[in-house]
Amino acid sequence: MGELREPLRELIECGLPQALEVMGERWSFMILRASFNGLKHFEEFLSELGIARNILSNRLAKLVEHGILKREPCADDRRKIEYRLTEKGLDLLPAMLALRQWGQKYGSETVVEDPVLVDERDRLPIGPVSILAHDGRILGPQDLWLTRPANLGRRADGTIATPGESQGVSLGRGDVVDLAEAKAAAAR
Amino acid sequence: MGELREPLRELIECGLPQALEVMGERWSFMILRASFNGLKHFEEFLSELGIARNILSNRLAKLVEHGILKREPCADDRRKIEYRLTEKGLDLLPAMLALRQWGQKYGSETVVEDPVLVDERDRLPIGPVSILAHDGRILGPQDLWLTRPANLGRRADGTIATPGESQGVSLGRGDVVDLAEAKAAAAR
DNA sequence: TAACTAGGTTGCGAGTTGCAACTGAAAACT
DNA sequence: AGTTTTCAGTTGCAACTCGCAACCTAGTTA
């Protein structure tokens, strides 16, 4: 594995900071979850989340500004405003579920009585949010490798994969990382 | 679909708040990513992330306290301390990747030259972080349904699935949510 | 011994957060 | 019509957190 160390460019350009700009704020994920749960109105969020009015107002405005929620006046009651998830907001579902599954796996209290997310086809609980290979295999840290776009492998049809497609994700730093080693180290 | 509305119990018990307690802090995810990138020492994080010393100190301590990183004095130089990911920390990889993929998908600048996460088997870029059904099918928002544990389906062998296993995830609120409807609404 | 390095801690100003009270418009009651 | 209630905000103020710079301490190097 060649030494691969780039001139340490700013890490601002890797997707994560952009995501955190909105979702890193203290209440954003809780509001997002409430939206996934079907809440739409200001006062609903307010009483459900126990957040301060001004913060909620501010957060909702930011989420709307970033295109995660959209703000529509209600037809039947013109005081009311509906905050609904956009496509962009719905796309945060994997991230939210991954976080929640992690929190649940390591959290102290497990409340089994709460409703459960199921596959509507067979009503069985969903599995863990997973990192998939291009062919659908589930990948763990030990299966991942960080490399330069130039060193990408070739697909069966001989075409070179481009990082942009299929959500190829940059880790943003010019270092080859052996996640398997990291995993081994974690095991002590 | 029966009306399903619980007495609005506190939402603190759903995994997400527990996750956010640590990872909701402003720099936690950036530090985590740096860890995945192989950074181990205080001064490395400091210069790489551009974070303030005191905040970094505080965040690292919290991450250690929550068992995401572990703090080990370096063998060869007893001034140095290594911060390494634990198993619990490694388990945050799907959440971090999901966030990053989202940020990259909707972010303005796409830097193609950055290194890319690949499947080490064939060196092809990884796919999107996905929500899987128990049988491995990839699920979208439209395939998900929120239900009570009592109404779970049965597996092929006739056993009733338990929410605890296979990362069944509670949304924490006693409301049945039709995510397909939400998706349709998002489309405008 | 002096200088340097790694990892913190402390003090200070600026920015955020939470709480409570107030506003202003639309709906509901009387 | 006139009062009250509801909805979604805004404003003022206290408490907390952040970022910056300076300082501190133990271990290493010259």
Q: Is residue A142 part of a domain?
A: yes
The verdict on residue B11 lying in a domain is no
CB pairs under 8 A between A and B: 444
| Lowest model confidence (mean pLDDT) among A147-156, B138-147, B173-182 | B173-182
Domain end, chosen from B107, B138, B165, is at B107
- Does B9 reside within a domain? no
Selecting from B49, B115, B175 the residue whose C-beta is nearest the C-beta of A174 gives B115
Mean pLDDT of B113-135: 83
What DSSP state is assigned to residue A160?
Answer: B
In a shared domain, residues A134 and A180:
yes
Same domain, B32 and B96: yes
pLDDT band at A1 (very low <50, low <70, confident <90, very high): very low
DSSP string, chain B: ----------GGGSSHHHHHHHHTSTTHHHHHHHHHTT--SHHHHHHHHT--HHHHHHHHHHHHHTTSEEEEE-SS-TT-EEEEE-HHHHTTHHHHHHHHHHHHHH-S---TTS-EEEETTTTEEP--EEEE-TTS-EE-GGGEEEE-GGG--B-TTSPBP-STGGG----SSS---BHHHHHHHHT-
Domains contained in chain B, number: 2
Q: Check whether A102 has a pLDDT greater than 80.
A: yes
pLDDT over 90 for what percent of chain A?
Answer: 46
Both A79 and A153 in one domain: the answer is: no
- Tell me: pLDDT of B178 over 80: no
Nucleic strand C under 7 Å from the C-beta of A45: no
Is pLDDT of A95 > 90? yes
* Amino acid type, A146: L
Question: Given B72, B107, B142, which residue is the final one in a domain?
Answer: B107
The Cα B42–Cα B48 span in angstroms is: 10
Mean per-residue pLDDT of chain B: 77
Do both B21 and B73 map to the same domain?
yes
pLDDT class for B124, splitting at 50, 70, 90?
A: confident
Q: Which nucleotides of C are covered by protein (CB under 7 A)?
A: 5-11, 16-21, 24-28
User: Does residue A98 reach within 7 angstroms of strand D, measured from its CB?
Assistant: no
Domain that holds residue A93: 16-107
The pLDDT value given to residue B149: 64
Q: Is residue B168 part of a domain?
A: yes
- Nucleic strand D near CB of residue A55 (< 7 Å): no
Number of neighbouring beta carbons within 10 Å of residue B53: 10
pLDDT grade for A172, boundaries at 50, 70 and 90: very low
Residue A69 falls inside a structural domain = yes
Nucleotides of D under 7 A from a protein CB: 6-12, 17-22, 26-29
Same domain (yes/no): B99, B135: no
Q: Tell me the nearest-neighbour CA distance from A99 into chain B, angstroms.
A: 5
Q: Is A114 among the domain residues?
A: no
Is B79 (CB) below 7 Å from strand C? Answer: yes
Same domain, B98 and B21: yes
Judgement on whether residues A155 and A81 belong to the same structural domain of the protein: no
| Residue A174 and residue A139 share a domain | yes
Higher pLDDT, A103 or B179: A103
CATH assignment of the domain containing B51: 1.10.10.10
pLDDT at B176 over 60: no
Query: Does residue B118 belong to any structural domain of this protein?
Result: no
Residues of B whose CB is below 8 A from A1: none
pLDDT at B9 over 50: no
The reply to whether B79 has its C-beta less than 7 Å from any atom of strand D is: yes
Q: Which residue of A has its CA nearest to B152?
A: A123
Per-residue pLDDT reduced to its tens digit, A21-78 = 999 998 999 999 999 989 999 999 999 998 999 999 999 999 999 999 999 999 889 9
CA A21 / C1′ D8 distance in Å: 25
Q: Do B96 and B154 belong together in one domain? A: no
Residue B181 placed within a domain: yes
Closest by Cβ to A117, choosing from B18, B23, B171: B171
Q: Is the C-beta of residue A84 closer than 7 Å to nucleic acid chain C? A: no
- A39 with A103, same domain: the answer is yes
- Contact list in B for residue A85 (CB cut-off 8 A) is 182, 185-186
Whether residue B147 has pLDDT greater than 70: yes
- Report the C-alpha gap between A85 and A69 in whole angstroms: 5
All residues of chain B having their beta carbon less than 8 Å from the beta carbon of residue A48 are 8, 11, 173
Q: What is the pLDDT of residue A110?
A: 59
